[in-house]
Amino acid sequence: MASDVLRVLLVEDNPAEAELVRDALSRARGERFVVEHAGRLQAGLDRLVANGFDVVLLDFSLPDSVGLETYERLRERAPWVPVVILTNLDDEETAVRAVREGAQDYLLKRELASGLLVRSIRYAIERFRAEQALKNSENRYALAVQGANDGIWDWDLAGGTAYFSPRWRAMTGCDDAASTVEAWFERVHADDLRGLQDALDAHLAGDEPHFEHEHRLRDAAGGYRWVLARGLAVRDGGGTPARMAGSLTDITDRKRAEERLLHDAFHDALTELPNRSLFLDRLGLALEQSRRHKRISFAVLFLDLDRRKPRHDSLGHAAGDALLVEFAGRLRGCLRPGDTVARLGGDEFGVLLTEVDGPEDATRVAERIQELLRQPFAVGSTEVISTASIGIALGAAGYERPDDILRDADTAMYRAKAAGRACFQVFDQAMHSSVAALLRLEMDLRRAVERNSFVMHYQPIVSLLDGRIVGFEGLVRWVDPERGVVLPDRFISVAEETGLIVPIGWWVLAETCRQVRLWQGSFPVSPPLYASVNISGKLFGQPDVVERVWRIVEETGLPATSLRLEITESVLMDHGDVALRVLSELRALGVQFSVDDFGTGFSSLSYLQRFSYDTLKIDRSFIAGMADKADVGAIVQSIVGLGNVLGMNVVAEGVETPAQLARLRAMQCPSAQGYWFSRPVDREGAELLLHTGQAW
């Protein structure tokens, strides 16, 4: 015992019996008892509140209380103290009931004399403490369960019954009567039931050490909540599961957050449409399905809103976004539920049509979308009309990856755009091979640059005053082992796009300068022959363009004044102030400039003046058109006149007939170039012309 002094409250109205008790306790060995005595129940209760007693000895027939009620009142007032009942033979039965209700023991008063009393008190105190400890731990457990917000279930596998904690019932909305696992299962979402069964079976069969499963459960309101169920089976000696118990945790919030994250990862924030990843994912599914069913069953539409930049510049960012949102809404509205609309980026949208029987199904949707766009968009206070170019790819056999279908729809969209916007194109294999051909061209061109598989051809520029050669335009050719001689029209644009024009262009410049310098030596004329070289806008954008041109001039020994760089009008427009600076720095070194293909671009007089070129090259389309169209002749005449006024040289390009030549002479055009004089020729060809002193 914790302390050797035990405090006893004796509630007993009979003084003689009270004396007996005192006597018995005073004779005890081991413990020392301090006994306080109360003659009535009320007096006993009053003392109990004030003093810390270790045990109460309670008589059952007191002046103010008799029988079981006596115990109950005491219990209620002081549940923390163990009670031993003192009884006479006639109410032994009542005493037994008191013990059932929580009294520790009862003693017949006639046994008091023996050592029984002391032993009974000792046990009463000990048993009471043990009970109290157990109760505390049970309470703690109950509190923990409540705090963790988990529901508890306990399933008797053999009997088929189950216990569900109040929290479990609150979560599931099961009424209090439910006590079988069916009450649980019938609330599980139909899509999750199989998984739950499988997880349970796996654990019961011993395949899984723990049971753990997430599923949706219908709650009292009829909505679904996500729960995590966990549990363990208790097995008998033979390993057969007899019971299974576990917890149920509400994970709805976590699930919602996860779903939100997942949603955000696969949707466009502005329009809320699926994004490119999700679109490709759905496309992959459609592809797989059509592969299994072996027929065209889907189509992809690639949409691009036309004229993005001008619209953006005039409307501003926010209004541009509002238009996209509105457009997304309209798109969604005009498709069937099984179809997917996605924003692929910028102004690009993708539509996946499922269950398509043929191309007409897809083109009909494309028409509908364009119809949809004819309605103006209300953006802020104004109305805007937008058009879209649409490319269509049909999910025909032969596609391996979703990316390929999207790429083909994209290619078709570009065709649609090139064909004049606001229309659609269905992808066909010819487009594919042209794309593939372009790719191959690019690869081969790269290799050509590495191996320098280029040669220069030269076309004479002739003075119309005396018919003699005054200079040569260098024109590059690509000599490919398979393709043969490839003309610039076939590869310059690819070279520009890929940046390969930069190494090619520097080589062309150096090679032409070197060659013309040699000819200046062997064929001296006055003024010396000049070299005319086409310069791509890409070269103009290079930071060291002035230095490099200068270095080439120095290294080849060609006088800077014998070099004419041909640029088109658009180059200067695109490069603005930088071009102006480069131009004036090179002009300061003596280099001259020609506007190539004059008349086909902007033909802006203000640009002409601002950049002060030395030469205008009239595009060959004007020379070709001169004969049949009077106004074209007039244009050529006025360009020649313009050159005169501005003090510029003029070269007529593409002269093919003596009639054209005569006409130009009559207009007093100072110089010309064209097949009539000579096609572009290689070095030997050019030298032959120079050698014979050919004059036209």
Q: Minimum distance from CB of 492 to Mg ion (Å)?
A: 11
- Sole window of 114-122, 145-153, 346-354, 650-658 interacting with ligand C2E (rule: CB under 6 A): 650-658
Supply the DSSP symbol for 528: P
**CB–CB of 424/444 below 8 Å?**
no
Q: Locate 567 and state its tokens.
A: 């640029």
φ, ψ of residue 525 to 5 degrees: the values are: -135, 170
Residue 596 lies near Mg ion (rule: CB under 5 A): yes
Q: Locate 695 and state its tokens.
A: 């004059």
Residue 439 interacts, among Mg ion, ligand C2E, none and using kind-specific CB cut-offs from 5 to 8 Å, with: none
Tell me the three state secondary structure of residue 34.
Answer: strand
**CB–CB of 471/651 below 8 Å?**
no
Residues 6+ apart with CB under 8 A from 603: 569
> What is the C-alpha separation between 484 and 568, in angstroms, rounded?
28
Residue 534 lies near Mg ion (rule: CB under 5 A): yes
Residue 489 interacts, among ligand C2E, Mg ion, none and using kind-specific CB cut-offs from 5 to 8 Å, with: ligand C2E
CB-wise, 252 or 600, nearer to Mg ion? 600
Residues 558-577 that bind ligand C2E (CB under 6 A): 566
CB-wise, 252 or 621, nearer to ligand C2E? 621
Nearest to 314 by CA among 240, 386, 225: 386
Among residues 59, 304, 410, 597, the one that binds ligand C2E under rule CB under 6 A: 597
Tell me the three state secondary structure of residue 625.
Answer: helix
End-to-end CA distance of the chain: 137
Q: Is the dihedral of CA 417, 420, 421, 425 positive or negative?
A: negative
CB-wise, 55 or 475, nearer to ligand C2E? 475
- Sole window of 20-28, 67-75, 356-364, 652-660 interacting with ligand C2E (rule: CB under 6 A): 652-660
CB-wise, 639 or 655, nearer to ligand C2E? 655
Q: Write the binding mask 664 to 683 for ligand C2E: x where contact by CB under 6 A, - elsewhere.
A: ---------xxx----x---
CB-wise, 37 or 620, nearer to ligand C2E? 620
> What is the C-alpha separation between 391 and 425, in angstroms, rounded?
5
Torsion region of 683: left, alpha or beta (phi above 0 gives left; psi -120 to 50 gives alpha):
alpha
Continuous segment of H or E residues that includes residue 126: helix 116-147
Among residues 656, 668, 681, 694, the one that binds ligand C2E under rule CB under 6 A: 656
Tell me the three state secondary structure of residue 486.
Answer: strand
Residues 6+ apart with CB under 8 A from 250: 149, 171, 225, 226, 227
Q: Minimum distance from CB of 608 to Mg ion (Å)?
A: 16
Which string of b and e fits 523-560 if b means at least 16 CB within 10 Å? beeeebbbbbbbbbbbbbeeeebbebbbebbeebebeb
Residue 534 lies near ligand C2E (rule: CB under 6 A): yes
Residues 300-329 that bind ligand C2E (CB under 6 A): none
**CB–CB of 421/387 below 8 Å?**
yes
Q: Minimum distance from CB of 676 to ligand C2E (Å)?
A: 6
Size of the site for ligand C2E (CB under 6 A): 23
Residue 475 interacts, among Mg ion, ligand C2E, none and using kind-specific CB cut-offs from 5 to 8 Å, with: ligand C2E
CB-wise, 104 or 649, nearer to ligand C2E? 649
Residue 152 interacts, among ligand C2E, Mg ion, none and using kind-specific CB cut-offs from 5 to 8 Å, with: none
Residue 680 interacts, among Mg ion, ligand C2E, none and using kind-specific CB cut-offs from 5 to 8 Å, with: ligand C2E
Q: Minimum distance from CB of 678 to ligand C2E (Å)?
A: 8
> What is the C-alpha separation between 302 and 414, in angstroms, rounded?
10
Supply the DSSP symbol for 67: T
Among residues 508, 567, 586, 651, the one that binds ligand C2E under rule CB under 6 A: 508
CB-wise, 302 or 478, nearer to ligand C2E? 478
CB-wise, 246 or 643, nearer to Mg ion? 643
Q: Locate 562 and state its tokens.
A: 């014998």
**CB–CB of 678/473 below 8 Å?**
no
**CB–CB of 563/582 below 8 Å?**
no
Q: Is 18 exposed, middle or buried (0-12, 13-18, 19+ CB in 10 A)?
A: buried
Residue 340 interacts, among ligand C2E, Mg ion, none and using kind-specific CB cut-offs from 5 to 8 Å, with: none
Residue 459 interacts, among ligand C2E, Mg ion, none and using kind-specific CB cut-offs from 5 to 8 Å, with: ligand C2E
Residues 176-235 that bind ligand C2E (CB under 6 A): none
Neighbours of 297 (CB within 10 A): 20
Residue 460 lies near ligand C2E (rule: CB under 6 A): no
Residue 283 lies near ligand C2E (rule: CB under 6 A): no
Residue 643 lies near ligand C2E (rule: CB under 6 A): no
Nearest to 499 by CA among 552, 462, 538, 453: 538
- Sole window of 9-17, 356-364, 604-612, 651-659 interacting with Mg ion (rule: CB under 5 A): 651-659
Residue 482 interacts, among ligand C2E, Mg ion, none and using kind-specific CB cut-offs from 5 to 8 Å, with: none
Q: Write the binding mask 462 to 491 for ligand C2E: x where contact by CB under 6 A, - elsewhere.
A: -------------xx----------xxx--
CB-wise, 108 or 487, nearer to ligand C2E? 487
Residue 405 interacts, among Mg ion, ligand C2E, none and using kind-specific CB cut-offs from 5 to 8 Å, with: none
Residue 418 interacts, among Mg ion, ligand C2E, none and using kind-specific CB cut-offs from 5 to 8 Å, with: none
Residues 6+ apart with CB under 8 A from 579: 540, 571, 572, 611
Residue 59 lies near Mg ion (rule: CB under 5 A): no
CB-wise, 55 or 667, nearer to ligand C2E? 667
Among residues 21, 492, 583, 651, the one that binds ligand C2E under rule CB under 6 A: 492
Nearest to 680 by CA among 477, 489, 542: 477
Q: Minimum distance from CB of 359 to ligand C2E (Å)?
A: 38
**CB–CB of 302/412 below 8 Å?**
yes
284, 285, 417, 427 from 406: Cα distances, Å: 11, 14, 16, 11
Among residues 549, 620, 636, 663, the one that binds ligand C2E under rule CB under 6 A: 620
CB-wise, 184 or 540, nearer to ligand C2E? 540
Q: Locate 486 and state its tokens.
A: 């490839």
Radius of gyration of the chain measured on its C-alpha atoms: 51
CB-wise, 410 or 653, nearer to ligand C2E? 653
Size of the site for Mg ion (CB under 5 A): 5
Residue 121 interacts, among ligand C2E, Mg ion, none and using kind-specific CB cut-offs from 5 to 8 Å, with: none
Q: Locate 14 and state its tokens.
A: 């009979």
> What is the C-alpha separation between 22 and 19, in angstroms, rounded?
5
Which string of b and e fits 343-365 if b means at least 16 CB within 10 Å? bbeebbbbbbbbebeeeeebbeb
CB-wise, 151 or 505, nearer to ligand C2E? 505
66, 221, 270, 615, 672 from 517: Cα distances, Å: 138, 94, 62, 21, 22
Q: What dihedral angle (degrees, nearest 10) is formed by the CA atoms of 442, 445, 450, 456?
A: -160
CB-wise, 323 or 535, nearer to ligand C2E? 535
Among residues 12, 304, 566, 569, the one that binds Mg ion under rule CB under 5 A: 566
Among residues 597, 613, 615, 671, the one that binds Mg ion under rule CB under 5 A: 597
CB-wise, 218 or 468, nearer to ligand C2E? 468
Interface with ligand C2E (CB under 6 A): 459, 475-476, 487-489, 492, 505, 508, 534, 536, 566, 596-597, 620, 653-656, 673-675, 680
Interface with Mg ion (CB under 5 A): 534, 566, 596-597, 653
